[in-house]
Structure 1
């Protein structure tokens, strides 16, 4: 353990190179950042008076400067895990140095866990050295313990000079770029030396630079330092000023450890850091700006005292300083673990048998396993599939590696460009809310098929270089013949291979979409993708209430079906469609909650269709059937006969008919699929079919449908009241009738409602002879006055 500048990175490996126990084997040094790896290798080569690639070399994801003579290899951390998978014993390696282990990056924790497991499993004598600038030595000593006890801790105080720490209180409404710029200008005016400024990201760096450039004196250079910048710009920021010129270096936390920015005597610390964090709801890892830790503040301040007394400006209060976290949480506890889960599954050792300072959180690991299984990189037993092994060979997130691995030869180069775009910051600059979401447009810009005024030329060049490197590693040829139309039709189809869970379908409102899993998301209604039916949202931003689409691509249903294959659920359902009033056979293709398409085909008669029709009739309580007045009359007559002679007559009440539909109606449903078909069924015939031949004759005899009066038209007998069937008839039609009308062989008298010539009720009687001899004379007088043109005889029994 030693403070920044003590020589851990560049002096220790050279000092150990000729130790007898190393036995002329190689030393691997792991650095958390590409820029740090380059700088460390160059510094050690300079100390040896050699070129990089001789005794000292380095390898990052994008560069390799190592020869057969190289004894010290400076690697970015992810390189080690790849080597361990192919050579677990690290043949020819005597020492692995984990530099800046206090940063607790995911590759550090994974590489250390796998190397410790390999030491215990394979025949290897590789030694491990962990180097840190902050006091966490006890944790690492315990982790590296062996049978002889905890690993020894070596401490060096290094050489540092006093730091004058000055606190500058930032007010709530102070814009970051303004308070930082004013502090820098004050330091340039009052203090000597170059200024190193710590900011959370490239966006803040650019905004501070824009404020500073018009204000700094002519002899002051304003430089940027960040991992995303070109090497030439990085080198310019690291090199000391010439002559009387001064520098202001605007840097991310990349200059916090491992790197030495020459000539710095002043540090301005904004007190912020950008760290990756997982949102468990969406499964996304996003970079969030947080308050930096006390350990980070001390390391940043220490950069001012490397060669002489220095000054550190902290843009927060002394009181707030004491409330900050001592260290930020380990990255492995905060981020998406898809890459980790795939690495561990490929390694094969159960998680509980691996040594971690902080074990991967179970919830995040389960989410990662779900994602990897969705991508078909792990099987249901969490074993790595053949596709999973292919993706492990690519220096990409498993999602992007899946897209590259599954792409066809004609689309593979586009997949490489998409991966490079999504693996870096957006090439379009400006207010995020004003930028288009279409990822295909960005691909076209990189491939020079399209131009955009907001495109960052350096960013475009960097993406092209990165895409070319991905293609080289995946044995994919760069395709210069792609047309703009082809790009715009294929980006979405490729993107869904990486983000099948981010497939989204447009709602009724332009710009409003629903995701495959059911959540909502949105983009500006004027965006070029706002009216697309299907999109893949690769970049989502926002909180739980409102997730906004930042980068996406359009695709059609056929692209989804082709890409997702087994994930597309095809269902064929034959059911009653209430809107069509018909039985339909509906074939639906879905992914999650999204309906890709739906086809309705003609329904053929079958027992299944008949059963559906009968269910429809029951649900609607016989209403689809044509129960006209004649049918209702027949139904009531049968129920009348059952009432008076229940033993031999069927129950044809509505409730009984509903309960026995298969018995009496099914023979009449052949070929029926709609309400229109049901309306043409002769229900009277169906009810008659329940009666024997003799019963039918008996029904017409004992319970006739109509009553035939002495004169006039026949009238329908109402059997709704079985004990008192009724008729309504004009009194003139009964003149000459001496006996009361009856049914059931005169056993049941009809209730007769006597009507006037205007069909208005006059009187109700169940004793017609008594009416004639009784109240007729009074009725006659009243009716004769109202209807003088109609006959009103004194003796109605005469015709």
Structure 2
């Protein structure tokens, strides 16, 4: 295994001796390394032979399914083994972990279920939380649960939090424990970044257009979202004309990606491949987007924020950034969380721009003004402060006790509202304890409202309806242009959709 690692010149390697020492001396640490430094794929392999690990397993949490699979495959390549041997992975719908696996890459929900099933985590010596800056609600929950385990029954369990951009001082203090405890040590990797020339391209000063005012994470102006396809397509076309190398463009969602792809299909030359990249796409499309361009060809990758930190897209010299992303927000009309288009934070913009400078000097084209940039939030808003907390409240009740420490505590009013809903669903009793129904609901990867439907009526139709309502729409396109017929979607899942609907469905 060491021969393969020595051949890979990853910048984070220089920080490994310090990281090894920190984890030998203590049980918690923070590693800060820029995108492309190699932290996700090199650090777990480099720690396998540490004496304190004592041949136990490493569990690493990734916030996205595509990144989970990609990280496991990359580590398997580095170690010269097959996926499922030394390195395995598990998402909510796929498991490739063998009896000899010592590194297990899992998604956030998988880690929560493991902790709830057996809090001691037998056979595990280190839990790594990758990309903690994304502040997903179940990443925050997993971190709180793991710290509680360390403080109570597993003082030997190591916890390593890794990020490219994070408030390191605050995170280190949180991992260190209470106010009287010293903060966890922070190890920093300088990385290997080249200069990126950031250029502002606000476009037409139309109301809500690309030059519109920042929203600090609030929903993006409607006209801006409507014009993002054309704005990104224009910028990509100019980038191909004016610069060398591949182009990585960030768009908020799959509908905008498909719209931009359609616009570019009639404009780019024959030696340019336009590839979409998003979690909702098939594995074949994802692999094609991540595969480097062959000699004599160029590539345009149209991606969601999944390519911001979790994945490395080789060969990129130009980044086109729409400045938008989908973020979960509580919807009072449905009582659930839905994805809303928002303006990204400044640190997210820096992450995206850095993708152009991984292998050579690059260019980042931002489709908003420098003035607007200054008004944007410095960091992304934690999900725990903006989304429905019903699922979190059910997990907390199942865990038991009120001793969990969160990096950002859940808002009391929102948590009370969530608990009232759970009592109405018969998931909690009058004392706030989980009922038998509630424990069954907690075992399902669904919002509690939908989980209650499935537990109450465990039929095929109930499961299909829950999946359709909880996950991405099987029909692709702008929401205001799609039919609202739920029966049509059920027919597609059952293989009985009409031709028009089938053409709009995307394999997942």
> Which TM-score bucket, shorter chain as reference?
0.7 to 0.9
Distance 1:377 1:91 in 2: 29
Secondary structure at 1:454's aligned position in 2?
A: helix
1:437 to 462, 473, 484: 484
Matches within 5 A, 1:491-640: none
Distance 1:197 1:431 in 2: 19
Task: For CA contacts below 8 A with separation 6 or more, give which structure has more relative contact order.
Answer: 2
Correspondence for 2:317 = 265
Secondary structure at 2:189's aligned position in 1?
A: coil
Given that 1:90 and 1:124 are in contact with CA atoms closer than 8 Å, whether structure 2 keeps it comes out as no
Matched, 1:75 2:106: yes
Which deviations, in whole Å up to 9, do the C-alpha atoms of 1:237-293 show, x marking residues without a partner?
011011211111000000001200111111000111211111346533221111111
Matches within 5 A, 1:24-173: 24-146=55-177, 149-173=182-206
1:425 to 432, 457, 472: 472
Q: CA, structure 1 residues 360+280, in 2 after alignment: closer, same or farther (shift >3 Å)?
A: farther
Which deviations, in whole Å up to 9, do the C-alpha atoms of 1:472-498 show, x marking residues without a partner?
xxxxxxxxxxxxxxxxxxxxxxxxxxx
Distance 1:100 1:433 in 2: 33
Deviation at 1:329, TM superposition (A): 1.2
Deviation at 1:455, TM superposition (A): 3.5
Matches within 5 A, 1:365-764: 365-408=415-458, 412-429=459-476, 432-433=479-480, 435-451=482-498, 453-456=500-503, 458-459=505-506, 461-462=507-508
Q: CA, structure 1 residues 432+120, in 2 after alignment: closer, same or farther (shift >3 Å)?
A: closer
Distance 1:195 1:438 in 2: 38
Which deviations, in whole Å up to 9, do the C-alpha atoms of 1:346-388 show, x marking residues without a partner?
00021xx211111111121122112211211111211111011
Deviation at 1:148, TM superposition (A): 5.6
Moved more, 246-255 or 137-146: 137-146
Matches within 5 A, 1:277-292: 277-280=329-332, 283-292=335-344
Correspondence for 1:536 = none
Distance 1:72 1:139 in 2: 28
Q: CA, structure 1 residues 205+332, in 2 after alignment: closer, same or farther (shift >3 Å)?
A: same
Distance 1:395 1:88 in 2: 19
Distance 1:219 1:394 in 2: 46
Given that 2:255 and 2:478 are in contact with CA atoms closer than 8 Å, whether structure 1 keeps it comes out as no
Secondary structure at 1:144's aligned position in 2?
A: helix
Matched, 1:241 2:293: yes
Q: CA, structure 1 residues 21+430, in 2 after alignment: closer, same or farther (shift >3 Å)?
A: closer
1:206 to 258, 266, 287: 258
Matched, 1:252 2:304: yes
Q: CA, structure 1 residues 430+134, in 2 after alignment: closer, same or farther (shift >3 Å)?
A: closer
Greater C-alpha Rg? 1
Correspondence for 1:465 = none
Secondary structure at 1:154's aligned position in 2?
A: strand
Given that 1:283 and 1:367 are in contact with CA atoms closer than 8 Å, whether structure 2 keeps it comes out as no
Given that 1:429 and 1:454 are in contact with CA atoms closer than 8 Å, whether structure 2 keeps it comes out as no
What TM-score comes out, normalization by structure 2 length?
0.87
Deviation at 1:196, TM superposition (A): 0.4
Matched, 1:326 2:357: no
Given that 1:429 and 1:456 are in contact with CA atoms closer than 8 Å, whether structure 2 keeps it comes out as no
Distance 1:450 1:270 in 2: 34
Deviation at 1:454, TM superposition (A): 2.9
Distance 2:492 2:75 in 1: 40
Provide the aligned C-alpha RMSD in A.
Answer: 1.6
Distance 2:477 2:323 in 1: 25
Q: CA, structure 1 residues 434+281, in 2 after alignment: closer, same or farther (shift >3 Å)?
A: closer
Q: CA, structure 1 residues 257+187, in 2 after alignment: closer, same or farther (shift >3 Å)?
A: same
Distance 1:448 1:91 in 2: 43
Given that 1:89 and 1:124 are in contact with CA atoms closer than 8 Å, whether structure 2 keeps it comes out as no
Deviation at 1:398, TM superposition (A): 1.6
Given that 2:253 and 2:304 are in contact with CA atoms closer than 8 Å, whether structure 1 keeps it comes out as yes
Q: CA, structure 1 residues 178+449, in 2 after alignment: closer, same or farther (shift >3 Å)?
A: closer
Matched, 1:15 2:62: no
Gaps of 5+ in 1: 463-799
Distance 1:302 1:240 in 2: 18
Q: CA, structure 1 residues 446+312, in 2 after alignment: closer, same or farther (shift >3 Å)?
A: same
Secondary structure at 1:453's aligned position in 2?
A: helix
Distance 1:203 1:449 in 2: 24
Q: CA, structure 1 residues 428+123, in 2 after alignment: closer, same or farther (shift >3 Å)?
A: closer
Distance 2:196 2:79 in 1: 32
Correspondence for 1:336 = 388
Given that 1:58 and 1:65 are in contact with CA atoms closer than 8 Å, whether structure 2 keeps it comes out as yes
